[in-house]
Structure 1
Amino acid sequence: MASSNVDSPKGYMIFRPEKTGVIDILSLLIRRKSLSSYKFVETTEGFNTAGVHDDPWVIALTLLIQKTLKAISVPMKWMGYYLEFFLNLLALNGGILGLLWHILTFSLVIPKRDSAEFRSLIGLIDGRVDLYKKSSEMNYFELMYPESSLADTNVLDLSMMASKIAYENPAYVEKTVTDHWKMHFVGFYNCWNKFLNDHTTQAFICCDKAEDASVIVLAFRGTEPFNANDWSTDVDLSWLFTGKMGNIHLGFLKALGLQNELSFLLGFPKEYSNPADKPVAYYAVREVLRSLIKQHPNAKIIVTGHSLGGALAAVFPALLSYHGQSDILNAMYGVMTFGQPRVGDTLLATYMTTIVRLKFHRMVYRFDIVPRIPFDVPPVAMFKHFGTCIYYSEWYKGQVMIDSPNPNYFDPMYMIPMYFWAWIDLLRALIIGQTEGKDFREGYISILYRMVGLVIPGVASHSPRDYVNAGRLSKIANKIMV
């Protein structure tokens, strides 16, 4: 379907997997018609789709993944719901034997999802909440090497732990911030996505101190393991042209609060009346940060997130710059993301590096599948990474790179290494507690999760546990930032 656009002659390309049939997918692979002729594609009138079939299987595969996720979304959600409940039931009652004992003695502890003791699957895989006391060699990097006001802060570890606990409920997050980190909890924000008709975007903000703070942390929640919508958003090839910032991933803009999917100008006005019952993420956290930097004029803001949260952390400063929010940007120390998907094209990358000019680091662990999506398929989907990539390879060795190997994930030459290192990660998980200390010991839930990587390599590598370990154990090859 073709339609006009109020912003630009190259305004958008939206893929509608719900309108895609088996015949359409076969047609992509065999007939190779112009994309604009398919009912599942909406694009600006006159958009040139010549050459889009150089890799038609990538488009077909993406649509097939999205349709599959849609089909299993409900059972996937309920499976996650009951699995998390059961695992929390075991954890709160001391394992299987403890559970039996508590049943026999009528002292069973029933998990409550909104309590500070209830953990998501991410928290069950890695229950660590305390900040690391030791320095990492990562501190040689400019983003991690603190300014004088942040001299006591291990920025890397704080960012990763904030990204990890952002998956948890508000009570859990607040308890971690106040009791374990001894920091000031500002707020947890449960935000509305009008296109999904639900509160699907979460973030929290904390400061190192209630008065005269030197550090403000904004952490966005990432891709939930059992949320099909989150995974579908990550792989989506849809984009929206934003003008001087280029093409940005449509799903991530929606998660931050886009109001019109066909027009960036109408979708993100500079000011917006945020309803109390349906707050929009970008405007909600922007106002909180604006208030905090007035209260703490010497504080520096760290923006972070894992997975989908990393994507939101990457796009958020771009929106601030677009709207001229120099007060917040000037107070921003940097952006650090973990396992972040691609968020835009080369024009966005240029804008971020030449106009916004923030310290921007993204961590990629081994063959983590998420930093390799959405696929880079010019000219339909020209998704590129930007910022400094720190790639963790074997035994948590860190390297500064422009981009990680196997950029589109399905390169056949990487299949054997991906499966090989999935086995190595599993075997190492069994002994890491003895070799590196009890802080790194892995429980049975983490071990079982790693076994998923033996089937789909790259899924287990996306676990925040490996990003925490990498930051704490890494040996960095390059000491000079380029």
Structure 2
Amino acid sequence: MDGRDEYFCDFMELKPHKGGVRSLLHLLCSGDVAENDVVECPPGTTEDQPSKSNRWVIFVSVVAQMLLLWVKTPLAKLGEAVEYWMNFFTVNGGGVLKLIRNAMEGKVRIPDRESPNYRSLIGLLDTRIELDEKIKPEHSNYHAALGIMASKIAYENEVVIKTVVENHWQMKFLEFFNCYNDDWSTDVDLSWYEIPDVGRAHGGFMKALGLQPTGWPAKIDASKERPFAYYAIRDALKKVLAANPRAKFVVTGHSLGGALAVLFPAILALHGGQDENDELLARLHGVYTYGQPRVGDQRFGEFVERLLDTPGARRRYFRFVYSNDVVPRVPYDGGAHLFKHFGQCVYVDSLYRAQGMKEEPNKNYFSPAFLVPKYANAAWELARGLVIGQVAGAEYVEGWVMRISRALGLLIPGLPPHSPQDYVNATRLAGASLDLLLRDH
């Protein structure tokens, strides 16, 4: 054991790097998972003798992680190459003919990964960097609209972020952290830890946030070259807020970033009783997440809801889910009874109409009941993407990268809707209905 068994009252940690065919067969055939090489859990844990359906969920998670570990290096190199060539076409006009013309004129431009013009795949899918001038700071959905833009720009390099924040948003850029996370397969890692009096939380996301071998100590020694997200952001916030006594802050994120955003105040609360951490929680204005995966069980959700929805600070957590976005809907909690959604969901359908609900429709992406609507929505989104610029304005015109993504959605519906593109549109085009949902915030 590494010390976590002394901090958490119960846990199950998956070790895919230790697995093989024998381990997988044992996982399918034997209920004693504690004896399996790929599962680490204390004797007597609730997963010591899991049900058959739970073993199947564990099996799928381990296989997925093993496959990702196997393809990690070649997939990373492929991703870098695709991103580079997409930038190559973009900086040369965005088309083959323009590239040929530049070549003939000796004006071919080579993309620089460290330049303010180099974009990640997310940035190429949605090239918008400007804030919507129609949504003013006094509007109730201002933080929602700002949050998705901040979440989107967070995928870029430091130079891009600093340029956008200072030159385009006219805001002060404070600090950039490239935080340490050695768990490349976080999203499919179904490891969990049960925190006493709190509930179970997703192990992969906690590791990405900065979980230490001994749990969540109040302070750690971390180098500047290898910061951990929770500790780096917490300490930076303390300095900024101390220098600005009237300031408050918002935590936001897309996808994995959304999971970390809602976990951040929960870990702050674990360190409650420390004046500085209590002060941070008191000055937390809100948590806004987009396409956020499930992060904990029902007890954990109730803990976070009590934390973020108090008489003194009502409704501070808003989880945006667009259409058939696949990420918020897996893993499903029907068989494992583990990870669940909690808090008020701002569900936005494919017509960009928003409504508030406890849980969005189609809780399980793999449910056959929603098979036809998923493909129908994918076809609608492809068609809409071709004309939305003429209908809603030039800022909504979709580029060739996003259009290719929409076409791929005909094969895997729910994948293109996970990109920030539709979340940006939702906070802008659904502004009126969002105002109704958020007006008491």
TM over 0.5: yes
**For 1:113-168, what per-residue CA distance to the aligned partner results, in whole angstroms no more than 9, with x for missing partners?**
111110001111100011012249xxxxxxxxx7xxx5698211110100000000
**For 1:395-441, what per-residue CA distance to the aligned partner results, in whole angstroms no more than 9, with x for missing partners?**
11111111122223211111221112111111111111111111111
**Aligned in 2, Cα 1:109/1:480: closer, same or farther, shift over 3 Å?**
closer
- What is the match of residue 371 of structure 1? 328
- What is the match of residue 104 of structure 2? 104
* Distance in 2 (alpha carbons) for counterparts of 1:362 and 1:257: 22
Count of residues in correspondence between the two structures: 427
Q: CA deviation at 1:235?
A: 2.0
After superposition, where does 1:71-150 map in structure 2 within 5 Å?
A: 71-95=70-94, 96-135=96-135
- What is the match of residue 203 of structure 2? 250
Asked if the contact 1:3–1:43 (Cα under 8 Å) also holds between the matched residues in 2, the reply is no
After superposition, where does 1:431-470 map in structure 2 within 5 Å?
A: 431-470=387-426
* Distance in 2 (alpha carbons) for counterparts of 1:355 and 1:312: 16
List alignment gaps of at least 5 residues for structure 1. 137-145, 197-228, 261-265
* Distance in 1 (alpha carbons) for counterparts of 2:296 and 2:361: 19
2:281 to 329, 339, 342: 329
2:173 to 167, 185, 188: 185
Q: CA deviation at 1:445?
A: 0.4
* Secondary structure in structure 1 of the residue aligned to 2:5: coil
**For 1:257-288, what per-residue CA distance to the aligned partner results, in whole angstroms no more than 9, with x for missing partners?**
1121xxxxx22211223322222211111111
* Secondary structure in structure 2 of the residue aligned to 1:328: helix
* Distance in 2 (alpha carbons) for counterparts of 1:103 and 1:401: 54
* Secondary structure in structure 2 of the residue aligned to 1:309: helix
* Distance in 1 (alpha carbons) for counterparts of 2:71 and 2:7: 36
1:359 to 310, 316, 326: 316
After superposition, where does 1:202-217 map in structure 2 within 5 Å?
A: none
Letter in 2 for 1:94: G
Asked if the contact 1:234–1:373 (Cα under 8 Å) also holds between the matched residues in 2, the reply is no
Using the aligned pairs only, state the percent identity: 40
- What is the match of residue 290 of structure 2? 338
**For 1:291-341, what per-residue CA distance to the aligned partner results, in whole angstroms no more than 9, with x for missing partners?**
111222111201100000001111011111111211111111100000001
After superposition, where does 1:278-427 map in structure 2 within 5 Å?
A: 278-324=226-272, 325-357=277-309, 359-376=316-333, 382-427=338-383
User: TM-score with structure 2 length normalisation?
Assistant: 0.90
Higher helix proportion (structure 1 or 2): 2
- What is the match of residue 216 of structure 1? none
* Secondary structure in structure 2 of the residue aligned to 1:192: coil
After superposition, where does 1:16-31 map in structure 2 within 5 Å?
A: 16-22=15-21, 24-25=23-24, 28=27, 31=29
Q: CA deviation at 1:182?
A: 0.7
Q: Please give the root-mean-square deviation of Cα atoms over the aligned residues, in Å.
A: 2.5
1:47 to 45, 51, 57: 45
* Secondary structure in structure 2 of the residue aligned to 1:184: coil
**Aligned in 2, Cα 1:316/1:168: closer, same or farther, shift over 3 Å?**
same
Asked if the contact 1:389–1:403 (Cα under 8 Å) also holds between the matched residues in 2, the reply is yes
* Secondary structure in structure 1 of the residue aligned to 2:156: coil
- What is the match of residue 69 of structure 1? 68
**Aligned in 2, Cα 1:405/1:24: closer, same or farther, shift over 3 Å?**
farther
**Aligned in 2, Cα 1:43/1:331: closer, same or farther, shift over 3 Å?**
same
List alignment gaps of at least 5 residues for structure 2. 310-314
* Distance in 2 (alpha carbons) for counterparts of 1:396 and 1:479: 14
Asked if the contact 1:377–1:383 (Cα under 8 Å) also holds between the matched residues in 2, the reply is no
Asked if the contact 2:116–2:159 (Cα under 8 Å) also holds between the matched residues in 1, the reply is yes
* Distance in 2 (alpha carbons) for counterparts of 1:463 and 1:362: 15
Letter in 2 for 1:321: A
**For 1:196-243, what per-residue CA distance to the aligned partner results, in whole angstroms no more than 9, with x for missing partners?**
5xxxxxxxxxxxxxxxxxxxxxxxxxxxxxxxx2xx211211011222
**Aligned in 2, Cα 1:102/1:294: closer, same or farther, shift over 3 Å?**
same
- What is the match of residue 312 of structure 2? none
**Aligned in 2, Cα 1:439/1:2: closer, same or farther, shift over 3 Å?**
closer
Letter in 2 for 1:48: T
